Chain A
Amino acid sequence: MYRRQETFELKTGLYNPPYNIYRGSLYNLGIFDTSSMSDPLYQSAQPLGDAWDIEAAGTLGEDIRKGILPAFITRQTVAAIASAFCLCRIPRGGLEQRELVRILFAQQESSRLSVSFENEEALADHSRDYRSLAWRFLLELMLASENEHLGNHHTLVYILTHNFVPSTEHPAFHLSLQTWRWIAARTFFERGWTQIFARTMHVLKQERDGLTRQMLRQQLQEDYLVEHQNEPIDSLVQEVKSNRHSSTWLLERFEGKQRRDYLLCICIGLIAASEDKRQYTTPILGKLWKRGPIPFAQEYSRLEQSIQSNAHASTLWAAIAEESLVQHFQIALRKMSSGNPDTLLVDFDAGQWRIPEKSENVVPGAANGFTRLDIGLRWAQQLGLVESPSKDHFILTEAGLDCCRKWDSEQRS
């Protein structure tokens, strides 16, 4: 829209309308049948269409009802009816809200929830059931964590320190918690890893001509020892083992700015995931342990070997630092080879690590704790399932509690 333009033509037959970006999600939610030319509503989503308050759309709503759009629309009209079309303003307590909840929670539909998470194709086939499980899990988290500080890494710390799913619940529910615990552990690990990578970049930037592998390791060790004593790695591991159930300690490590905090974040991730794998013996945890561009299995083995050889923290720091460069190189190149933009920040050329000129001014960021749970939380608020009495504190509304009850009764029946 041009700033001073007052009237706009409503064009039909646009080649690539912006709404296309929602088509995939709407298809997956079983709302739009995108296999047909005009993307009609699936029959099961018809009530959602009916629930939309067409009155709120004013004269345009009336035109939509008739099936013929006007050729032009004024800025004033757009401003007046905008909220009727806004995806993030669902009328509170209305039919539309209830219909959305019905679709998201797959209510009144036969459920085939199983614990076959390890079979990803089967998971895709039952995506509706697992979507519903994910929502139920989110509500359970809200229910259990009343008055706790949530959001971003606070949510992950809560998940790591609380086994909040009642033992009577469906096994898939427990599996959901286990996999979210893995994500929490992985996020701690990524937090430490990305901060070590950023620090390594900083060290390399000081050397315009680059550093051989040996020189890089030496400089990194020295860089670690500027802040800390060279303690054995085992003492870091013991510290993690004794504190890993303390929310305060975990939050301090996640937010910590010391190089030792970065190493501890890595240890927290590895040890938490390792203990869960041992305790739950779920196949999916075994698979997650081995996969990914930086598999936990490989990094845990590095940790164990370092302990066995009585290595010190600065040695582990330097080893992880170089590995972070290697992994960054591999992943950035792999992405680039798939046609993605060039994101490579380091180079290894003629036996030396160096920072190319193009990334001299780039400071890589650290992984944060924002997850899909945070996105879900915002949705749950719009759907009237959750309320926030104060910042970062959430409680279930009566509608949220009702959703939990319905889900539980459907699963247990």
Chain B
Amino acid sequence: MSISLLEDLQAGEYETAVFLTYTINLRFFELMILPRLRRMGVSRIGVLVDQRGYQESLADPLAQEFCGQGYILAPIHLPHGGIQHAKLLWLQKHETITAYGGSHNLTMAGYNDQVEITARLTSRDQGHTQALRELHNMVSSIVPPAFDYVWSHTKAPPEIRIAPTVQVLTSYSRPLIEQIIDHVHTADKLRVITPFLDAHALQTLAGAVQAQTVVLDLPKDGADIPLLEAIDALPDLQPRFLADRQNRRLHAKAYQFTKANESWLAIGSANCTQAALMKSITEGGNLEFLLLLKDTALSDDLNFTEIADPVTFPYTGRNWDSSPLPPSAISIEKASYKGGRLSVEWKLAEKGTVSDITLYADGNRIPYDLESATSVSLELPPRVITLKTAINGSSTETSAWVINYDALDQKVSHSKLHQWVERIASNDPGQHAGSIALWLEQGIQELLGVQHEAASTQYQIGPAQKRGDLPSVQKSYEVFAYSADPNEIQTHAKVLLENYSSVDPLVLLRVLLIRFAAEPSSDVPGNAKGYDDSYYSALPHNFSKRQSASQNIVKNLCRQLNEVVKTKASSIVPEQTFVTGLCILLGAIVYICLDAMKDSGRKDEENLTQHFIHFLEWLVSQSQVNHALQNPRVMGPLLLSIGAVATIAERCKDSDLYPQLRKHAKMLVQADPRQAITTWEQLDPEGSKRFLTLLRQQNIWRQIEPHLLALFEIAPDYVRRQIEHRWGFLLKLQEADIHLSPDREDLFAQAKVRCPDMQIWACYDAARRTKRLPVLFHTSGNSCSQCHSLLPTQLWQRLKKGDAVICDSCRRILIL
């Protein structure tokens, strides 16, 4: 329930999004939520807001840009004057639904600043199906006609016979309190978390469930009424306040009912007030949702402290949730623009004399011919319609956002390509982590032969076009890494995906990783001051964000590897598809290890190594793999992925992981890795070059090679040369000493001067004197070739650098 909606809206793929909220901050929505939705692929977006919130949005000083053009904002008119107070986010794509119900309004405070409690319902959990159906039915009964453009693209999940794990209570037809009693009956203890309070409502609720103990949790600056009012109503009340370390305001609403053998938790939008709990909307109450969960407790991450002196405890005097707007004498029922025509319909007061009706589109007067409607041809779509009139001589006016269906249709028709372009253009590492997760998920499905009717694979984006005058891939990579201009990034992303994704399945991942690693751009163009001094300059570092995103990328890769090892590769998948899928996964492992794990921790490294080892085991067990591995196009990426994981396995504290990795790698690959890579480069020069190029790293094989060779216990050539240079004389001397060559004394004299390490020389000299030669041996791994003892890490590291070391166990000199 401690869900961070801003974090949650980083991943997943949906087509439709619908919000219900009491208040809204459009600028916040457009800057923080809309881009997330677009990157999730959502094309139909609508917000249902209380009338007051709708009217306030029209006078908002924070300029909005896309209302009516990128999404629909519509007011909810409840028939008996109550306010729309329910909070919901409904995300849908085909049969997949995720819904968030809780206490969060669509504002900065609701999504970021305040303590809110929100629950996630998903169509994947069959225990949530009934609740999703009820929520859908409820919203269907209140959506205004203009909202059909969005809402008609949602549908409730099909009915199932599985017992629900969560119930939805709404105030649509019955007061919430009655429904709570129906489920809970009685409770020994009642705990209420509410920022707005009505003593009578609290007393009624406690009485209705016959609670012996009532705990009331309030914000630190109190509820809207004095606490004493509640204590007068319930003298044994145990009041507490939220002592939040981050100094956040409590806006959550929750009700916990506990008795000996069971408990119920209700969370949602309803404050402990009469308007929320004790009236249905037909009785003039608010529209509220509560989600009721059995035997579920609130997490104890909120720290409430007992209120020692209720008399002096503060209260705010606010009373927001029971003050609906007075009914308006005039209203705009419809304001839409389609095919170059503006259509407006309005309703005037039934009582009183109406005169001087004037209609304005963005402040410009427009003609009308009918009494309550007009349709005029306008070249440019207006944003806002204002209706002014006089009723009984006194002037009044109302406004409405124009719904621009032409612009909305255009958004809907945007292709999958556009969604990826937007994802690439994002500056948020968290978003890139989400996009990489999505990319991986689709790639893995391809590998395993899981086909979705509506989801085409991510690397077949756009038709391949003619290649004339295209920017080079390298140039585009530079733009993704260093440009601060979102338009330039979008242009390059579009061209790259349209023209290269069909030939290079990994191009999208490479681009996402480049963007992930790119520093965010400055918001103050032309800032020549060289430092962020002004108040609006946020801290420039992006480290913690990227670190957490990096962890998410690794977590997702591990999850996908886990999915893979649990599955048997489908025998109906053609080998070419399997090979492509395998190469994509192996490429992802290589790039993520090299590019996305700079900020990751030991735990991530161990986790990934462990999952990769399981993956190698899985590869060995798949019949298709043996044949596929004969193909150098698979062997090359496989070796690179093993080498890339070796780079991180070397840093793992768990000393078992590296030998395990070596064991499984050797089971799969018997050939010399260098030869395998050379064969791949010769056989598929273009493909291997693409694979091996990452931004400024023209050939990542050079980076991986030493680690891979170390894993396969092969000394790299330069180390061999170094060993020859540093220890060749000693080998020669040993040879001469053993065979009693005539030049051995000369060689001894030269070696004594030349030996760079006195300890090694002392060891050799002692062995020579005591006639225990040979004492100098080659070894191939991190164990002594003579006594087979495991060498300490430090000695192994020195060996790899070309040093000679002395085995602690048998006192022999070892070189690689």
Residues of A within 8 A of B (CB): 12, 15-16, 34-35, 37, 71, 179-180, 183, 187, 190, 193-194, 197-198, 208-209, 213, 288, 291-293, 322, 326-345, 347-351, 356-358, 360-361, 364-368, 370-372, 375
Residues of B within 8 A of A (CB): 23, 25, 27-28, 31-32, 35, 52-53, 56, 59-63, 105, 107-109, 112-114, 221, 246-249, 316-318, 320, 426-431, 520-521, 523-526, 528-531, 533-536, 538-540, 542, 544-546, 598-599, 647, 651, 696-698, 702-703, 798, 801, 803
Is B32 in contact with A350, judged by CB distance below 8 angstroms? Answer: no
Rank and list the top 3 A-B pairs by shortest CB-CB distance, nearest first: A339-B428, A338-B427, A372-B530
Known: A292-B525, A371-B530. Contact between A339 and B536, CB under 8 A?
no
CA distance A292 to B522 in the complex (A): 11
Known: A183-B528, A291-B525, A293-B523. Contact between A358 and B429, CB under 8 A?
no
The 8 Å CB contact of B62, one of A187, A342, A345, A348, is: A348
Contact partners of B59 in chain A: CB under 8 A: 213, 351
CA distance A66 to B62 in the complex (A): 64
- Counting residue pairs across A and B whose Cβ atoms lie within 8 Å, the total is 165
The 8 Å CB contact of B521, one of A338, A347, A366, is: A338
CA distance A292 to B536 in the complex (A): 12
The 8 Å CB contact of A364, one of B113, B535, B544, B803, is: B535
The 8 Å CB contact of B113, one of A350, A358, A365, is: A358
- A359, chain B: closest CB distance, angstroms: 9
Known: A35-B698, A338-B427, A351-B56. Contact between A370 and B533, CB under 8 A?
yes
Q: Which residue of chain A is the closest to B247 with respect to CB atoms?
A: A357
- A155, chain B: closest CB distance, angstroms: 12
- B395, chain A: closest CB distance, angstroms: 19
Contact partners of A341 in chain B: CB under 8 A: 538-539, 544-545
Known: A34-B696, A292-B525. Contact between A329 and B27, CB under 8 A?
yes
Contact partners of B525 in chain A: CB under 8 A: 291-292
Beyond known contacts A71-B803, A336-B538, A339-B431: 7 more, CB 8 A cutoff: A15-B647, A329-B62, A333-B31, A337-B31, A338-B428, A344-B112, A372-B529
CA distance A337 to B554 in the complex (A): 23
The 8 Å CB contact of A348, one of B25, B521, B526, B703, is: B25
Q: Which residue of chain A is the closest to B528 with respect to CB atoms?
A: A183
User: B113, B317, B429, B533: which has the most chain A beta carbons within 10 Å?
Assistant: B533
- A104, chain B: closest CB distance, angstroms: 16
Is B31 in contact with A12, judged by CB distance below 8 angstroms? Answer: no
Known: A15-B651, A333-B28. Contact between A339 and B535, CB under 8 A?
no
Is B28 in contact with A335, judged by CB distance below 8 angstroms? Answer: no
Q: Which residue of chain A is the closest to B520 with respect to CB atoms?
A: A338
The 8 Å CB contact of B535, one of A183, A328, A334, is: A328
Q: Which residue of chain A is the closest to B706 with respect to CB atoms?
A: A13
Known: A333-B28, A368-B533. Contact between A358 and B247, CB under 8 A?
yes
The 8 Å CB contact of B108, one of A16, A190, A333, A360, is: A333
Is A349 in contact with B539, judged by CB distance below 8 angstroms? Answer: no
CA distance A370 to B530 in the complex (A): 9
- A145, chain B: closest CB distance, angstroms: 19
Is B27 in contact with A330, judged by CB distance below 8 angstroms? Answer: yes
17 sampled A-B residue pairs with Cβ under 8 A: A34-B696, A35-B696, A71-B803, A291-B525, A322-B61, A329-B62, A335-B520, A337-B32, A337-B427, A339-B546, A340-B545, A341-B544, A343-B536, A347-B25, A347-B107, A348-B61, A350-B320
Is A15 in contact with B598, judged by CB distance below 8 angstroms? Answer: yes
Q: Which residue of chain B is the closest to A284 with respect to CB atoms?
A: B526
The 8 Å CB contact of B248, one of A12, A179, A339, A358, is: A358
Contact partners of B598 in chain A: CB under 8 A: 15-16
Is A37 in contact with B62, judged by CB distance below 8 angstroms? Answer: no
Is A208 in contact with B529, judged by CB distance below 8 angstroms? Answer: no
Known: A15-B598, A333-B31, A360-B247. Contact between A198 and B431, CB under 8 A?
no
Contact partners of A288 in chain B: CB under 8 A: 526
Is A367 in contact with B27, judged by CB distance below 8 angstroms? Answer: no
CA distance A234 to B736 in the complex (A): 101
CA distance A374 to B278 in the complex (A): 67
Q: Which residue of chain B is the closest to A375 with respect to CB atoms?
A: B530
Contact partners of A367 in chain B: CB under 8 A: 533-535
Known: A347-B108, A348-B61. Contact between A337 and B249, CB under 8 A?
no
Contact partners of B599 in chain A: CB under 8 A: 16
Is A327 in contact with B317, judged by CB distance below 8 angstroms? Answer: no
Known: A34-B696, A333-B32, A348-B60. Contact between A197 and B535, CB under 8 A?
yes
